[in-house]
Chains A and B, each alone.
Chain A
């Protein structure tokens, strides 16, 4: 069996065209990451002068690490005068070589505000916020219990549990993760490669008219289908792993930092209401795995579509249309509170920050299920349905009898 899988893998995926596409797309992805860094980073040459970066890392030695009152006082001792002087915007905006950033006082204020004061304030205040959430959830639990709404009661119990003892004790450089979690372009590239490479998995035998012959062999039929599915899964997994690793390394290198690996996910301001208690590096891994699974569901969809056609032309066009429509649907419902419509689409696993940045629930027979779990379950259901579809339709091609067989063979 393993031999068969290896054989199928070699046959369909170890093609020069695929390898070239992977390499080219990796370069494209890196170029895209570079353009993101260049456009958004506070230290990129298009936004600020190089002194910012140097100054940041010099001060980082002093202010990075555990947040203490001493550090806060020291930071505020620098920032308050800057803030006071610029408050009424009457301070001179002339170039001042003695300023921290080598620009003017407004730049100094912005530097400290964006890089140190705001992030540190957010980190410092987070504990209070989490406590507020917990106490609000507790009072909700009492309230909903009193009016007999068990669903909301359970929901608040989950929120309470997730937010208990949350705090950010360490100040670290998070800009890289800030943009890394928003990055989706590589997933689009991976989907395109999958679309191309998987088209052939079932069609190649039809194109070479080997389909009939295959059915007469010992390991034809189910075994081959199974081997093809496993080989495809392995391929998707390898392809995704490669791209996610390239992304992560490119982000880290271009932003010039491997910091913040152990900082909690909710340290990112957009994830203030995050539903999971993991660190940023764990999140990167988790998000990669879920993305891979989402792409695998798409791959199954492509495979199923390809079962119906004798050549790749219409199969490719139909798969591409499905892919684009699902992406489109996802974009329509991104950020929406209509949770079910959002998570029914397997593409939500690919842009999975949507699943983790908020805490939303789906009603599962009166039990509140956190929506990322529901999304994964739904995607599993899609996957099973599509696999079932593939086995049913491929089998029919070979095994149906008489006129019926001809009808499908003619496709």
Chain B
């Protein structure tokens, strides 16, 4: 049997190399499939709106693009005004329905894409700074593929477990003295071992890069690979002139080089030390400590050695600064690696690699192929069981039962059988959520936690039967400036007043213990802008400035379900969300089937949902209050006077008349109208 086949067999079969490689690919691909999050989630959440704009401006920046953005911006604001005018005309009876439809349909289409325009406009602002190097393109695919410097920890483990036994195995079985007597046992076998290892690593790297490329190509698509690198904000200040695809090739080449160097380093340490544990310890330390321990993100790229090449995207980045809040000066957060320095690093690392290779040859010892004792898989099975038990997830509990009606304009108050919860705002004391005992009339604080420092309770409550929910931000004061730490939604059982967290979102970008977890949540801006929330058994719905997002309580999967340009009013009855669109129509959104339906003839700026009716200010009848029955869709008039605003309680409707701006109270039977 030729020597190299024997060595290959030993590495891949006897030492279970193939098994480890297989496991690595299974884990790495499944973790990509399960945990990959788009670099810019807004684009994915609004994919069709974004795509329609992108297709119009894709490519280099030009005068026309600038003109396009100016026009488009004008078009959108104009559409808003025109739609409003057309709606007013139509509801006032100045134009008929067919005219209205012919005017409003194209305008509605324009506004439908407004959010896409906002996203592309952000990109436009970025590109405008340096139009020669920055092109319009869909960034998520390329960002996922090349815009990170994360060390692939599984990959490091795989290299360690594959390469360490190449020489250590023979030292461990004490065959070193024997193989000196063998004809083929001298240097050529060491060369064969090192060569085979390097070829395996190269293949592995190529496969790994291929699988990543394939994944991002399938998931996002990797178009426009010929656009300049600077089109991605991650490489904004880079001075390298390279296209996206070239960069990917360079990164792969660097990774191959880095991995081969790392493999040679492992073999070098193993022939010097001849012990598994110390070899593994030394190599792990040499990779992990510079990666986690250096103060500046770019410092690791200034060191010769395999690490920089294994996470080589940093070689393509430019200088990045932030302002030091203490003295107002700009300080580096990332220092660019110049081409000359890169060459120097490459040459020194290569020399180190060759030097180590020579030492391996000099120190080499090898032996004739021998069947290694087979490890049984049992301990591994046990480990897997233990790790599974470590990772066992907790199940989520759901609340079923009677649904409460949620009206956005009442999101500061909620009433159930026993209590009335509301936000109390006054100038003297801090804003807080309080509740009133309906029997005793006693007022108490709703958030019972006595430790109020470092938390901020938001001014919104949601209730469902005995369960009442509020939202709070936890703060962190580990630096001079206060930082947001977490957003949580807390469920309070209003019988026992036990609290339970039902949703949590980490909002802290910087602080972790050893920084294994690089938090790069890009959807944080949304979580800072929440003005209300409501929930059903499975999902939480967050109301943001221009959208409603649905987040699954246990999986955390998020999607935008409703978009609007202005939030006027919305309501939720446990299954259906009612909201007002640009044309002042009320739209029903079914959360189970994800379908929308416009309620005909209901034109309003404000409504209140109850169990069986919608009360609204009828735009078609001079803002008088009307009620629509939800089951048979019939309308009835409630007031004969135009109304500015209204609300109601158990006994009566309270409204402000437009005629004299006075407040009136009207009983439900519509008999008693009294001046307040």
Contact = CB atoms under 8 A, between A and B. Distances in A.
Contact of B157 (A133, A320, A331, A335): A320
Contacts of B394: 341
B387 A325 contact: yes
Contact of A324 (B172, B448, B516): B516
A305 B383 contact: yes
A214 interface: no
A331 B324 contact: no
A247 to B, nearest CB: 14
Nearest to A126: B453
B504 interface: yes
B401 interface: no
B295 interface: yes
A51 to B, nearest CB: 12
A272 B161 contact: no
A203 B549 CA distance: 54
B170 to A, nearest CB: 12
A136 B378 contact: no
A309 B16 CA distance: 15
Given A17-B278, A312-B277, A331-B516, A317 B496 contact: no
Contact of A313 (B165, B292, B480, B496): B165
Nearest to A196: B281
B93 interface: no
Contacts of B373: 310, 410
Nearest to A42: B326
B505 to A, nearest CB: 10
B277 A200 contact: yes
Given A152-B498, A309-B379, A321 B157 contact: yes
A137 interface: yes
B508 A335 contact: yes
Contacts of B281: 21, 192, 195-196, 316
Interface in A24-53: 28, 32, 35-36, 38-40, 42, 46-48
Contact of B476 (A36, A270, A308): A270
A118 to B, nearest CB: 9
B289 A28 contact: yes
Nearest to B156: A320
A129 interface: yes
B374 interface: yes
Interface stretch (A58-66, A77-85, A182-190): A182-190
B676 interface: no
B623 interface: no
B383 A318 contact: yes
Contacts of A36: 295
B157 A185 contact: no
Interface in A395-409: 407
Interface residues of B, number: 71
B516 A159 contact: no
Contact of B477 (A46, A272, A312): A272
B393 to A, nearest CB: 10
- Interface majority SS on B: helix, strand, loop or mixed? mixed
B480 A114 contact: yes
A182 to B, nearest CB: 5
Contacts of B275: 312
A334 interface: yes
Given A320-B284, A336-B486, A152 B448 contact: yes
Interface in B347-388: 373-376, 378-380, 382-383, 387
Given A114-B480, A338-B501, A411-B379, A313 B161 contact: yes
Contacts of B375: 309-310, 314, 411
B172 to A, nearest CB: 6
Contacts of A140: 448, 450
Nearest to A17: B278
A318 B452 CA distance: 43
Contact of B276 (A47, A163, A312): A312
Contact of A32 (B161, B293, B453): B293
A273 B453 contact: yes
A351 interface: yes
Interface in B431-465: 444-445, 448, 450-454
A359 B451 contact: yes
Contacts of A359: 451
A199 interface: yes
A328 B516 contact: yes
Interface in A290-337: 305, 308-314, 316-318, 320-322, 324-332, 334-337
Nearest to A354: B513
A132 interface: yes
A332 B517 contact: yes
Interface string A270-281: 101100000000
Interface of B: 153, 157, 160-161, 164-165, 168, 172, 275-278, 280-281, 284-285, 288-289, 292-293, 295, 324, 326-327, 331, 373-376, 378-380, 382-383, 387, 390-391, 394, 444-445, 448, 450-454, 474, 476-480, 485-486, 488, 490, 495-498, 501, 504, 506, 508, 511-517
In the A-B complex, the 8 residue pairs with the closest CB atoms: A308-B379, A136-B450, A196-B281, A312-B276, A35-B295, A312-B277, A331-B517, A273-B451
24 contacts: A48-B327, A107-B327, A134-B450, A136-B450, A137-B450, A139-B444, A152-B497, A152-B498, A156-B450, A163-B450, A207-B172, A312-B280, A313-B161, A313-B165, A314-B161, A316-B160, A317-B157, A325-B387, A331-B515, A334-B511, A336-B504, A337-B501, A350-B513, A410-B374
